[in-house]
Structure 1
Amino acid sequence: MFKTIKNDLPASIVVFFVALPLCLGIALASGAPLFSGLIAGIVGGIVVGSLSGSHIGVSGPAAGLAAIVLTAIGALGGYQNFLMAVVLGGAIQILFGILKAGIIGYYFPSSVIKGMLTGIGIIIILKQIPHFFGYDADPEGDLAFMQVDGENTFSEIFNALKYISPGATAVAVLGLGILVLWDKVLIKKAKFFQLVQGPLVAVIVGILFYAITKDNSYWGISTDHLVKVPIPEDTASFLAQFSFPNFSVITQPEIWITAFTIALVASLETLLCVEATDKLDPERRVTPTNRELLAQGTGNMISGFIGGLPITQVIVRSSANIQSGAKSKLSAIIHGFFLLISVILIPRLLNMIPLSVLAAILFIVGYKLAKPALFFKMYDLGWK
């Protein structure tokens, strides 16, 4: 596995920058503690990445479960009760894997998968337009048409045009220019540009731009438009961010209903993502679906035990991983360690990253999923 480290390490950095705001945004959209999204991202990378048979899939908190989580926390009487449902949901997923329910994943038609990927690409682009211009009323990671801020995808874009931030937009355009230049020109010029990824340079430029212009009334970027990682003051306050399930509610029927809902939705979302990532994999490797359910179930049990959100394999992270040249699951595992180390050691530095730069990175991810050439290709294949 370590033979591919030269490909996997740069890819893991890109996935880390894509995953960080999504972990926080999905937690916010779910009505859960912000740190719960980071826990799910760390467990999804390290635990699920290690156990999974997927070479290029990346797991973490899923936007598709945000509405279920938001409703369940209120209905079950609190976050710790909900965590009990997450643990049980993981156990049910393990049972699905033992019963070989993963075979369902092999029956999704390839045209449906391509349509889903293209649709997700378009959604990513539309959802990032407000963040690109420095308008963040809707949190990162909310992929629903009807948003948690009361707007919809299109009305949010029109609103964003009224509140354009010059600094955020300038650094986003600069970041996008760096990414395109890197991808189309520089990466072919020298090995250095293959090792140091464009997204890393774009993020560094974003941090420098924020630091230089923060006292400027026109070009300065508002702190509301930066990544918001929780900052613990000491070890005790860091450990206090972890929550644990309330085991006393294990006999309540509504806990089991929520657990089964989480298990079913997370399993279907994972299987769809597995099929999609296998289609995107340049080496056309096939992921063992039953093993994937076992890995996801284990990840969800651990995430629930320590206060994290439910986990699935996620197409946004996975496609960013593939587009960045990852060759093995080492990339997913390393990105999990990056999340863990960074939230412990450098949360203040992370909180200097403008969301508009991360929006530029996600623009590229979305475009590569929904390339115009794909529309023509599917049209040429005919109605069937």
Structure 2
Amino acid sequence: MKTAALPAQPSGNDFARDMVAGLVVFLVALPLCLGIALASGAPLLSGLISGVIGGIVVGILSGSHVSVSGPAAGLAAVVLAQITSLGSFEAFLLAVLIAGGLQVAFGAFKAGFLANYFPTNVIKGLLAAIGVLLILKQVPHLVGYDRDYEGEMSFASATGGNTFSDLAEAARAFVPGALAVGAASLLILMAWDRIRFLKQSVVPGPLVAVVAGTLMSELMRS
């Protein structure tokens, strides 16, 4: 008679690696959650709450070992547009609750096949457009042109211009110090993604970029 082998119990080394991995994910997720909440026009606390729910609650309920959940930068423009359209953040939360209920109902009735009627090209085009929009909206901030320091996702700005006129104005009124901080941060992120020993480092690149950018900014002010 064959007997099935029992799964190996987690060792102390596994626990230590999990602790380090959890710390790294926390250090990356904390500024990411805050940044996405700010870009979405939502309270900063909501970004932290969504990160906690995505990381702990969804992780426990999903049963998957490789799930990735939490706030997504690709939805920042959608969330901001809906908050503006509905008039308040509370109304947006109600809409999200209703949408979640509909998703649960679709799952209960095995209606997942309806997703096959939505072409993948439409979804990819939407995500690509959001990415381009985020880049164009952040370029003025990268060079220190902050007429609208909080930023917005609409093409026509509240100041009377539009996305392209803001880019042209930013090219004429850029701040060299801000450009240096932005360029240094981008170089750090690219180095952490391409250099092997940095990529395998316990310290995440985004955290290093945030710390380095903050220090550079403070040094330039003094």
Secondary structure, counterpart of 2:107 in structure 1:
helix
In structure 2, relative to structure 1, the CA distance for the partners of 1:33 and 1:110 (3 Å cut) is closer
Match among 209, 212, 234 for residue 216 of structure 2: 209
Q: How large is the RMSD of aligned CA atoms in angstroms? A: 3.7
Once the two structures are TM-superposed, the CA of residue 172 in structure 1 deviates from its matched residue by 0.9
CA deviation string 1:2-34 (max 9, x = no partner): 78846665455334333322212212xxxx555
Secondary structure in 2 aligned to 1:55?
A: coil
Give a deviation string over 1:209-245, Cα, whole Å, max 9, x none.
2332333xxxxxxxxxxxxxxxxxxxxxxxxxxxxxx
For 2:176, the equivalent position in structure 1 comes to 166
Q: Could you tell me how far apart the structure 2 residues matched to 1:147 and 1:97 are?
A: 40
Q: Is the CA contact 1:23–1:41 (under 8 Å) kept in the aligned structure 2?
A: no
Contact 1:41 / 1:59 at 8 angstroms: preserved in 2?
A: yes
**Do residues 19 (structure 1) and 30 (structure 2) align?**
no
Q: Which residue of 1 aligns with 2:201?
A: 194
> Which residue, 77, 81, 105 being the options, matches 1:63?
77
Q: CA deviation at 1:204?
A: 1.1
- Equivalent residue for 2:150, pick from 136, 139, 154: 139
Distance 1:138 1:93, change over 3 A: farther
Contact persistence 1:19–1:41 (CA under 8 A)? yes
CA distances 1:31-64 after superposition (whole Å, capped 9, x unpaired): x555445444544444345444572344357421
* Match in the other structure for 1:232: none
Residue 122 (1) aligns with residue 132 (2): yes
1:182 matched to 2:189? The reply is no
Aligned residue in 2 for 1:295: none
Cα deviation digits, residues 67-95 of structure 1 (max 9, x gap): 22223236xxxx65665554444333332
Separation in structure 2 between the aligned mates of residue 167 and residue 10 of structure 1, nearest angstrom: 30
Q: What SS does the aligned partner of 1:56 have?
A: coil
Q: What is the CA distance between 1:131 and its match in structure 2?
A: 1.7
Alignment gaps of 5+ in structure 1: 216-384
Aligned in 2, Cα 1:139/1:101: closer, same or farther, shift over 3 Å?
farther
CA contact (8 A) 1:178 1:202 kept: yes
CA shift in 2, pair 1:85/1:58, >3 Å: closer
* Contact 2:193–2:199 under 8 Å retained in 1: no
Measure, in 1, the Cα distance between the counterparts of 2:60 and 2:116. Answer: 23
Deviations 1:80-135 (A, max 9, x none): 56655544443333323323333333454444444444434333322221121123
Of residues 81, 92, 111, the one that matches 1:101 is: 111
**How far apart are the structure 2 equivalents of 1:156 and 1:44?**
35
Cα distance change on mapping 1:100 and 1:214 into 2, 3 Å: farther
- Higher RCO (C-alpha under 8 Å, 6+ residues apart): 1
Which residue in 2 is equivalent to 1:310? none
* Residue aligned with 1:59, SS: coil
Question: Greater CA radius of gyration, 1 or 2?
Answer: 2
8 Å CA contact retained: 1:23, 1:37? yes
How far apart are the structure 2 equivalents of 1:183 and 1:206?
18
Paired residue type of 1:139: E
Question: Structure 1 residue 152: deviation in Å?
Answer: 2.8
The AA in structure 1 aligned to 2:140 is P
Residue segments in structure 2 that go unaligned for 5+ positions in a row = 1-9
Task: Please state if 1:72 is matched with 2:83.
Answer: no
Q: Distance in 2 between matches of 1:147 and 1:49?
A: 39
Distance 1:110 1:93, change over 3 A: closer
The aligned residue for residue 5 of structure 2 is none
Q: Is the 8 A contact 1:49 1:59 kept in 2?
A: no
Q: What is the TM-score normalised by the length of structure 2?
A: 0.68
Indicate the percent of aligned positions where both proteins have the same amino acid: 39
